[in-house]
Structure 1
Amino acid sequence: MSGTSSHLPILSFTETASSISEIHQVHAHLLKTGVFYSNTFSCNKLISFAVSNPDPITLSYARSIFTHITTPNSFSYNSLLRAYANSLTPQNAIFLFCQMLQGPVFPDKYTFTFALKACAGFGGVEEGRQIHAQALKLGFGFDVFVTNTLINVYGKSGYFEVARNLLDRMTNRDVVSWNALLSAYIEKGFIRSARGLFDEMEQRNIESWNFMISGYLSSGLLKEAKSIFDTMPVKDVVSWNSMITGYAHASFFGDVLKLFEDMQREKVKPDSFTLVNVLSACAHLGALGQGEWIHGYIDKNGIGTNGFIATALVDMYSKCGNIDKALNVFRNASKDISTWNSIIVGLGMHGFGEKALDTFLEMLVEGFEPNEVTFISVLSACSRSGLLNEGRKMFQLMVDDYGIEPTIEHYGCMVDLLGRVGLLEEALELVETRPLQEAHVLWESLLSACKNHGNVEMAEYVAKKLLELNPQDSAGYVQLSNTYAALKRWDDVSNVRRKMKALKISKEPGCSMIEVNGVVHEFLAGEGLILEQI
């Protein structure tokens, strides 16, 4: 006892330590006493800190301490087991568990819970079965924590009948028991089974409701998700974020803003995830006023313009037409590669192609390595500003220096650039290097360029290719009709329109949105009234 207490002053330092290097200092001090590895309590304290946020370095360090402990106890094993179960290498927990079975320290109920959680992490249902057998053998098979984790293992592995049998046989099941099976149904996409279980549940918590919302959204059932959301007795930030994300993914950006307003009225504090999604909605709608309000909220609450928040603000201001504010946010932000990409896109969008290129070079000087999105941003900026030579250089730089395989988006930027400067033959050659089925957007871009340059012969050829891809797509017909109209070939225009009518192909009406006094209004072409206030 005296050996333990003599180390308490230095061990109390681990409670406030903020880095592994500080723990190393404690470790070094304890080694000087000469009794560190024989003092299990001291070793366990260091292991606990090292594995509080497990990563390969801290796990390796914790394991090295563990292997040198003279007399490890169940806490020593369980601390390391839990860390492995929560890490990117949960399989290591099983090796440690097998070592523990050899004694002299044997598993307790926490050991089985952590080992089974590891099995769920890597889909080890066979290992889970063996551990289940060991739990029954040692008298822990019906413990509520162990059984809950078993339900999770079997459910996530698709053994729903076994998982359900375990749930039904439990005499002291709790809401975690029900949620273990519910989450497994959701994860595997069995939304009807999940809803049946949800309706049957003896008790629910907020996590149960959130699971159902997530499941419906993952299945594309937005209406059903909203119904669950509306009937929830209590909503947390996860509930709101799920619905906001669902509407954003479905491109219902007006509904995103409505939800955010409701969230404010309910006095639920948004997190950075909420704000990024709402700023994205403002960007799509051109809702500058609401975007500025959110920016003010961020500053007022000390959230900070870093990472995703900074990127979302730059994107919002750029798309809402205020490139100066976008640049101001960018200059004062803690940047990552996404932030650089966003400002390059914004500058290109506003016609500042050369400034976008300068920013790209500045990014390289700052030590950031461009990714494929960066090159889409740069090539798009070159295209919008007609910087042909610079665009060609960037494309070659991407392939030769950074080894990035061009995607359809990169080819799209190059086709658009070549089309803008009138190099239609070169653009056609580039388009024809791509497989026909993946090049639909490239053919559309080239057809638009043909119209702009009055090249009817190529326009007819490209339109034919588009119609081969999708005979019911109006884009090819409309672009070809517009090309004929620009050259006043009205008979050809009429022929195209007659063909569209015969094939029952209609053009989608154009849509516009404007913000007036903080309210976004949506209009359809040909309508004289406001269709919706968002």
Structure 2
Amino acid sequence: MLITIALWRIQWRATRRSPVRRSLRPAEVVPYFHGWGSSHGDARELAFHHNPPGQVERHRLTEEAKVEVADEDPSEVNDGNASYDQDLTLCLSELRDGEVEGIGEQLRDHVVGEVVDEDCNFFACAAVWKDKRLLKLRRIILNTDGKAPCEKQNAGELRLHQGKEDDFLMNVLHRKISLYLSSDNFSSKQVDGSHPFFWNSIIRRFERNQEPRKAIITFCHMMQRNISPDKFTFPFILKACASAMALREGEQIHCHAIKSPYNSDLFVQGSLIFMYASCQEIDSARASFDAMPYKNLISWNMIIDAYIKHGRLNTALEIFAQMPERDLFSWNLMIDGFVKNGQMEFAQRMFDEMPGRDIVSWNSIINGYAKCRDMTTARKMFDQSPFKDEVTWGIMLNGYAKCGRITTAHNWFEKLPYKNAISWNCLINRYLRCDDVKSAQKLFDLMPNRNVTSFNIMLDDYMKKGELQLAYQMFYNMPVKDVTSWNIIIDGNARLGRMKVARELFDVMPCRDVVSWNSLIAGYKENGESKEAIEVFIKMIISGKKPDNSTLAMVLSAVADLGLIFQGRWIHLYIDKHDIPLDGIVGVALIDMYSKCGYVDIALSIFNSIPQKERDHWNSMISGSAVHGRGNLAINLFEKMQRSMVKPDDITFIGLLSACSHAGLVAEGRRYFNLMISKYEITPKIQHYGCMVDLLSRAGHLEEAISLVNDMPLRANDIIWRALLGASKNQSNVEIAERAVRNLIELDPCDSSSYVLLSNIYACRDQYDSAGEVWRTMKSKGVPKNTGCSCIEVDGVIHEFTVGHIAHPQIVLLLHSMTQALRLEGYLPC
């Protein structure tokens, strides 16, 4: 009966309304700009301090809602479809008013049916005009069968306007868009919607799914279709640029925003500040802030947060003092900034001046004292705090544990009003850090609800201690394994040199992240299998997994070990293509790679192109100059380093002294060795003494070198004795050579090079009996002579050669021809 009444009312109202035909408003023409397609770095978690814009205003459909049908071609209007849309709309109107409950559930189930055909163009006929309150019910949400449309339709588009939009239908539309975006076949090229709403939904979805590159490309396609972005588009795409560290694209979008009517919008301006701050362009962020015609609390807090994250606390404090009004978030930002920089005096002063405090304020100040290991003050603040939650108790527990007061930490753990997995894991981890495995295991066994983190903590400790049996038992008995569990077991085997086992585990793990690839690459690299490390890196790229800075640094080091300039240049191109900054470990590894491959000038040009050079960059370039005997270049770099106010460390002087040694700069070497001790108060290590012994030995100052070895507080290693042995050969000093060989044999009895070098010294002095005795000693001790080996890279292929090697017929034929030519000239080659 109710259904009959509802349908009768629908027909009666339909006779009172006639649809008004009206054409769609053309989209504004927006110039398309280039510069897209590159991805930057790993996506990271965003921290906007306001609710993201773009949510559709919630309104209810009413009986007075007018319905309009707009067609591209009015002559092709399907009256049946329009009638169906009218009926459905009016039924939903009744549903909202709660008058027809009987058909309500049926219609709701019908509309919410989430059926998506991945082969169709879902957005081909979809258009939601927010300014006209357009909802195309039938073609956006469902067709007559209750499914998403599967082909492009040019029939009438239903408009609901007069300022009323339906909350329920908009939610369904968002769910439909989300379903379609989850399809593997989806591409933004499929989108044919003429309103920014659809593009905003796609861009926002990609940004939230940590796929900022796809969001940027979607915005690019939007521009190609001359669709004007609205005030919601800019915040979404700028957040994506911040996630991808895409500064270049962000700057272009900023230019586009300036030309749009939304340049002064608070959310757009706030997004610009956030984007520039995330891309390490704090000055540009400040310029955007200063250009804002009106600044609200969110804007002030964002620029303060940006300066704090960049370590510029003084500037942040100046801006804080200029704020016309402050909220709790402003005060907490400043307190947290001082806490993270260890400036507890200023943090406490700021805390005392706060007009009001919340639990975040108390937790921040307590955490600051706990990090500074001032648990007495931390406990005092804890007792004064009127707010205590799980975080507060956890801070105190972790603070006592980090201070080594494990007994106090355990007692505190027993007092916890609520013990969660974090508190259990914290105490277990601290017991393991103190090498109290027994107590950790006991606590682990008592833990009521162990999570995967609990198992990973125990597993990691077993692997680091080499307890393979316990580790494997723990691993295979885990109820749930995550990617971290697999990474721990793979990395542990790699560290123990069990690369075959590590590779087998890597091949069978269900899901890999960048840490998984890094563990395997690092394992091969550290175990002297650099070629395999490069092969794994290539497979990583082919699989579509994006390497991080650690990956690139490790593989560049592997390339440097083998001198493979072809692969090194390819990786350099990859770095340039993806705009990876060189102001960190990647730049250091790139300089080192080119230097070791013999291209020191390219290394120098890369070094000069880095705007903010860290100490590691200077060290790498100085060491590279040393390898190639360019001592004057190394000295000039060191002098520039001092003028740049970069403090050298022990590694700096190892490279500098090595450069002096290779270039024969004895006076300079002595001066820098003394400068290291007197000015920079660096205690010489065995490497520094080795460089000085090598410098003096090469220059013929054997007596001074021996005197330095006798006087140094450290025991001489094989490097020092080899330097003396090599110098002894050049000067035919048998006495020093014999002493050096005796010490080398004592350090490494199985190394044949020392015996061979001593035998050659005897032979040069015509002491063939002594030379033969050395060979007989080698044979009696079972020390084999290592076969001479060398390798060369040609067109990306590594060719290896050994003594007596005949696997390269072209080389054998060439040597035979050279021998014949020598004979014709009257020479008798050996």
Query: Does structure 1 residue 128 correspond to structure 2 residue 413?
Result: no
Deviations 1:44-76 (A, max 9, x none): 543246427953356554433334446644333
Asked if the contact 1:443–1:465 (Cα under 8 Å) also holds between the matched residues in 2, the reply is yes
The structure with the larger Rg is 2
Provide the rounded CA distance (Å) in 2 between the counterparts of 1:123 and 1:351.
Answer: 49
Q: How does 1:198-217 map to 2 (within 5 A)?
A: 198-217=475-494
Q: How does 1:82-161 map to 2 (within 5 A)?
A: 82=367, 87=371, 89=372, 91-92=373-374, 95-97=377-379, 99-101=381-383, 105-135=386-416, 138=417, 140-141=418-419, 143-161=420-438
Provide the rounded CA distance (Å) in 2 between the counterparts of 1:282 and 1:324.
Answer: 18
Provide the rounded CA distance (Å) in 1 between the counterparts of 2:501 and 2:451.
Answer: 26
Change (3 A) 1:237 1:490: same
3-state SS of 2:711 partner: coil
Greater Cα offset, 376-385 or 212-221 = 212-221
Q: Which residue of 1 aligns with 2:768?
A: 490
Provide the rounded CA distance (Å) in 2 between the counterparts of 1:449 and 1:126.
Answer: 59
Provide the rounded CA distance (Å) in 1 between the counterparts of 2:709 and 2:594.
Answer: 33
Q: Which residue of 2 aligns with 1:5?
A: none
Change (3 A) 1:125 1:190: farther
Paired letter, 1:65: M
Q: Which residue of 1 aligns with 2:700?
A: 422
3-state SS of 1:515 partner: strand
Provide the rounded CA distance (Å) in 2 between the counterparts of 1:46 and 1:146.
Answer: 28
3-state SS of 2:362 partner: helix
Paired letter, 1:289: F
Provide the rounded CA distance (Å) in 1 between the counterparts of 2:714 and 2:411.
Answer: 52
Paired letter, 2:758: L
3-state SS of 1:324 partner: helix
Asked if the contact 2:630–2:663 (Cα under 8 Å) also holds between the matched residues in 1, the reply is yes
3-state SS of 1:481 partner: helix
Asked if the contact 2:592–2:620 (Cα under 8 Å) also holds between the matched residues in 1, the reply is yes
Q: What's the % identity of the aligned pairs? A: 38
Query: Does structure 1 residue 173 correspond to structure 2 residue 450?
Result: yes
Paired letter, 2:328: C
Greater Cα offset, 441-450 or 467-476 = 467-476
Compute the displacement of 1:200 (Å): 0.9
Change (3 A) 1:79 1:400: closer
3-state SS of 2:551 partner: helix
Q: How does 1:423-438 map to 2 (within 5 A)?
A: 423-434=701-712, 437-438=715-716
Provide the rounded CA distance (Å) in 2 between the counterparts of 1:450 and 1:110.
Answer: 67
Compute the displacement of 1:328 (Å): 0.8
Provide the rounded CA distance (Å) in 2 between the counterparts of 1:341 and 1:77.
Answer: 44
Greater Cα offset, 293-302 or 168-177 = 168-177
Structure 2: runs of 5 or more not aligned: 1-294, 308-312, 809-830
Pick aligned residue for 2:566 from 282, 285, 289: 289
Asked if the contact 1:276–1:309 (Cα under 8 Å) also holds between the matched residues in 2, the reply is yes
Asked if the contact 1:310–1:335 (Cα under 8 Å) also holds between the matched residues in 2, the reply is no
Q: Which residue of 2 aligns with 1:65?
A: 350
Change (3 A) 1:46 1:193: farther
Change (3 A) 1:206 1:95: farther
Q: Which residue of 2 aligns with 1:55?
A: 340
Compute the displacement of 1:168 (Å): 4.5
Pick aligned residue for 1:225 from 471, 478, 502: 502
Compute the displacement of 1:356 (Å): 2.2
Paired letter, 1:100: F
3-state SS of 1:445 partner: helix
Provide the rounded CA distance (Å) in 2 between the counterparts of 1:289 and 1:473.
Answer: 33
Asked if the contact 2:334–2:350 (Cα under 8 Å) also holds between the matched residues in 1, the reply is no
Provide the rounded CA distance (Å) in 1 between the counterparts of 2:444 and 2:741.
Answer: 60
Greater Cα offset, 425-434 or 301-310 = 425-434
Provide the rounded CA distance (Å) in 2 between the counterparts of 1:290 and 1:119.
Answer: 50
Pick aligned residue for 1:240 from 495, 517, 521: 517
Q: Which residue of 1 aligns with 2:209?
A: none
Deviations 1:405-436 (A, max 9, x none): 22222222222222222222222222233468
Q: Which residue of 2 aligns with 1:14?
A: 301
Change (3 A) 1:224 1:451: same
Provide the rounded CA distance (Å) in 1 between the counterparts of 2:461 and 2:555.
Answer: 30
Change (3 A) 1:95 1:246: farther
Q: How does 1:355-394 map to 2 (within 5 A)?
A: 355-394=633-672
Provide the rounded CA distance (Å) in 2 between the counterparts of 1:162 and 1:467.
Answer: 46
Q: Which residue of 2 aligns with 1:456?
A: 734
TM-score by length of 1: 0.85
Asked if the contact 2:347–2:365 (Cα under 8 Å) also holds between the matched residues in 1, the reply is yes
Paired letter, 2:774: V
Compute the displacement of 1:393 (Å): 2.2
Q: Which residue of 2 aligns with 1:75?
A: 360
Asked if the contact 1:51–1:58 (Cα under 8 Å) also holds between the matched residues in 2, the reply is no
Compute the displacement of 1:234 (Å): 1.1
3-state SS of 1:228 partner: helix
3-state SS of 1:107 partner: coil
Q: Which residue of 2 aligns with 1:24?
A: 317
Asked if the contact 1:128–1:153 (Cα under 8 Å) also holds between the matched residues in 2, the reply is no
CA-atom RMSD, angstroms? Answer: 3.0
Provide the rounded CA distance (Å) in 2 between the counterparts of 1:433 and 1:22.
Answer: 52
Compute the displacement of 1:366 (Å): 2.4
Q: Which residue of 2 aligns with 1:259?
A: 536
Query: Does structure 1 residue 316 correspond to structure 2 residue 609?
Result: no
Change (3 A) 1:102 1:13: closer
Change (3 A) 1:504 1:368: same
Paired letter, 2:707: E
Change (3 A) 1:199 1:45: farther
Provide the rounded CA distance (Å) in 2 between the counterparts of 1:213 and 1:95.
Answer: 43
Pick aligned residue for 2:744 from 466, 478, 485: 466
Compute the displacement of 1:309 (Å): 2.0
Provide the rounded CA distance (Å) in 2 between the counterparts of 1:526 and 1:226.
Answer: 34
Change (3 A) 1:122 1:188: farther
Asked if the contact 2:494–2:523 (Cα under 8 Å) also holds between the matched residues in 1, the reply is yes
Query: Does structure 1 residue 349 correspond to structure 2 residue 627?
Result: yes
Asked if the contact 2:590–2:603 (Cα under 8 Å) also holds between the matched residues in 1, the reply is yes
Compute the displacement of 1:292 (Å): 0.9
Asked if the contact 2:724–2:736 (Cα under 8 Å) also holds between the matched residues in 1, the reply is no
Change (3 A) 1:128 1:461: closer
Structure 1: runs of 5 or more not aligned: 1-7, 37-41
TM-score by length of 2: 0.56
Asked if the contact 1:44–1:76 (Cα under 8 Å) also holds between the matched residues in 2, the reply is no
Compute the displacement of 1:284 (Å): 1.1
Compute the displacement of 1:480 (Å): 0.8
